[in-house]
Structure 1
Amino acid sequence: MLGIVVWGLTLGQALLVTGNILLVSVTALVGEVISPSLRLATLPVAMQFVGLMSATLPAALLVKRLGRKRIFLIGNSIGLFGAALACYALFLANFWLFSLATFLLGVAIGIGQQYRFAAIENCAPDKAPQAISLIMAGGVLAAVLGPNLAVWSQKLMPSDLYIGAFACLFALYCLTTLLVALLPLKPASLEEQMGTARSYKTLLAQPTLIAAMTSGAIGYGVMVLVMTATPLAMKSCGLEFTHTASVIQWHVLGMFAPAFVTGRLVSRFGASKIIQTGCILLLASVFLSQFGQSYWHFWTALVLLGIGWNFTFVAATGLLTTTYQPADKAKVQGLNDFLVFSSSALASILAGYLQSLLGWSLLNIVMIPAILIAMLTVFISVNQSRRQTVAA
């Protein structure tokens, strides 16, 4: 049985992901309206991922000193300030201030990414894959709430369609802060605090660790780039915002609904096979995008993209947890999230440019080499692990 803390973290994750979906639904569109150049339209999205990337390693390392609860409360406080600043920036129609606000929101999201590791620490070791899955499954609630909030929030201030979205985001951070304050999270263990961590050179000599970080970073980067470009691509095809919100909603359902079973699939078939299956689904999304640009083409491609990401990310996270000892935890988790979200930041920076330069079909084709690299890395890791087992 997974305890109340894991369920509480799942609800907290759901609230945070709901806010993230709000950002995905409106941020690129806000940038398009108030940016000085169309090619800068996705800069606020990129700043969000830069903030996320910059927070991951410090957040993981500070857990040793401050504990999970204090780190999460600090992250939510930054999110509250970022949401308030975004409202003010939109009131002024100030693109650069809005970009700063999304950077702060990214920092809050980066700290929130530690929820999945907190869930692992607050359950029995043999329940880790299920705990990761449950945390990810909280996104199902977010998939329903996020896009609907994005549409509904436009009615809050008809004179400025997007301020309402960030007002809703502020409220979501308030709820998450209260929830985290009430959860009895475990403090860091004595071994984690006082043990001697291995060097990065020693840690990175593990083929399994390389496979987990590479597949996680590439899977996340591919998903973010295509997802970020989707609202712009759909608008260029003449599709309405409600259609875009619907596609993003189903995409997020694809990202999180499989999490109810992904943990069990990882336990049964192994993380490597599930990562490879996720990569195949990412390739299927790419190929489907070549056949048309109607609502249903976008819908199906983005659902496959979401499921592929889920399999890749959940399995890669599970694989990562097998590569470190308690004293190594902060270094490995921090480095992994730094690489994963650096990939996401780069992807979000390139999304608007590649969409304007290449168009939707070619943008998707560019994803193929990266996906194949992830598959090759996992394949090599499995073979090396087998050889080491035989040699032993």
Structure 2
Amino acid sequence: MSTISRSVQNRITATIFVGQALFSAGTIAAFTITPIIARNLSDTNYAGMPQTLGQAGRAIFAYFVGWLMIKFGRRQTLSYGYLLAGLGGALSIVAVMQQQFWILLLGGLLIGLARGATEQGRYVAAEVYRPENRAPILGIIVAAGTIGSVLGPNIVTPSQWVAERLGLDVATGPYIFTLGVMVIAALAMFFFLRPDPGILSQQINEEIDDPAVIKKPARPQGELLRLPRVQLAIVAMSIGFLVMVLLMVITPLHMDNLGQDSAAISRVIMFHTLGMFAFSWMTGFFIRRVGQIWVIMIGALTLIAACIIAPIASSVWMLSVALYLLGLGWNFAYVG
């Protein structure tokens, strides 16, 4: 049994849960309108560029986040990650006001870099628990996105009203919201993520009864990559992200071209993100019950169903179903 108090574990889990919820709400609100703004500032061929750069930055920066967390600690790394996302939101506001596509690209890149850092918060929350309790905690933290999936799309129209009252372009509204919630999340990390979860993780490792866990040196990266289960995890996550991003990024632009308003677009994105996050709290328990491979297989079948339904969707509700399945399939592939 761990000597780390339950109150400390709960505070760290709650802090990261709030941060993940705010990050999800901010990025989803921004995502809902970004492809449309990108199309207006350039042309249709480049409408997906901000998200593409964001995904690239997310993947590249995630590799360095582990080093940053070791050198500067979990608390500082996550705090600056949220601030980086806030800076991305601020640049996106400038891009809309100045009608500069390249600034929008830079904003998208910074938000993507920030995502590469803040997503590690899921594992930071889990590492303050013993290994046998980490999968459910990971699922709970991923489920924080449920709040964002409801708040983010539904804040688009009110945020546009706020921007108009401030004398700004209505399209800056979601980015204003993004900037605000990222600053709040950064402050929450800085003040409440104490003691640093990395220190607590080391303490747990020292408390584990099995001496092999403590004394056995870490495996080289090359050796890990040769393990079949590691290869399966990488393939599952990569395909899940690829399929989801391909359909997700083009959906707002597709609906805008069909004459749908921002409320309809927001509703479809809400269902998509609900699929991503709403049942994450159950996915960890599901994995423990049936195993990772079965969960990944179910996720793959769900993604296939989404890819079949989305191209033939002739109404908002059908597109909502397709995007919901897309998010759910990603969830199974990612958490699995």
Fold conserved between structures, TM > 0.5? yes
User: Which of 313, 324, 327 is the equivalent residue of 1:292?
Assistant: 313
1:197 Cα offset (Å): 3.9
1:55 Cα offset (Å): 1.3
Distance in 1 between residues matched to 2:254 and 2:142, nearest whole Å: 27
Q: Does 1:15 align with 2:22?
A: yes
1:265 Cα offset (Å): 0.6
Distance in 2 between residues matched to 1:64 and 1:310, nearest whole Å: 28
Q: Which secondary structure does the structure 2 equivalent of 1:187 belong to?
A: helix
Tell me what 2:118 maps to. Answer: 112
1:1-392 residue pairs with structure 2 within 5 A?
Answer: 3-35=10-42, 37-158=43-164, 160-181=169-190, 182-184=192-194, 185-188=196-199, 189=202, 197-315=218-336
1:85 Cα offset (Å): 1.8
Which letter maps to 2:16?
Answer: L
Distance in 2 between residues matched to 1:287 and 1:84, nearest whole Å: 38
CA deviation digits over 1:264-285, x for unaligned, max 9? 1111101110111111111111
**What is the aligned length?**
314
Distance in 2 between residues matched to 1:287 and 1:123, nearest whole Å: 40
Quick check: 2:36–2:256 contact (8 Å CA) kept in 1?
no
1:238 Cα offset (Å): 2.7
Structure 1: gaps of 5 or more residues: 316-392
Which letter maps to 1:77?
Answer: L
- TM normalised by structure 1 equals 0.76
RMSD, matched Cα:
2.1
Tell me what 2:3 maps to. Answer: none
Which letter maps to 1:274?
Answer: V
Identity of aligned residues (%): 29
Q: Which secondary structure does the structure 2 equivalent of 1:3 belong to?
A: helix
Quick check: 1:262–1:314 contact (8 Å CA) kept in 2?
yes
**Closer, same or farther in 2 for the Cα pair 1:92/1:119, shift >3 Å?**
same
CA deviation digits over 1:132-184, x for unaligned, max 9? 11011101110111001122111123362221211111110111011111122
Structure 2: gaps of 5 or more residues: 1-5, 207-214
Which letter maps to 2:54?
Answer: Q
1:118 Cα offset (Å): 0.3
- TM normalised by structure 2 equals 0.88
Quick check: 2:153–2:269 contact (8 Å CA) kept in 1?
yes
Distance in 1 between residues matched to 2:226 and 2:58, nearest whole Å: 27
Q: Which secondary structure does the structure 2 equivalent of 1:157 belong to?
A: helix
1:195 Cα offset (Å): 8.3
Distance in 2 between residues matched to 1:278 and 1:167, nearest whole Å: 35
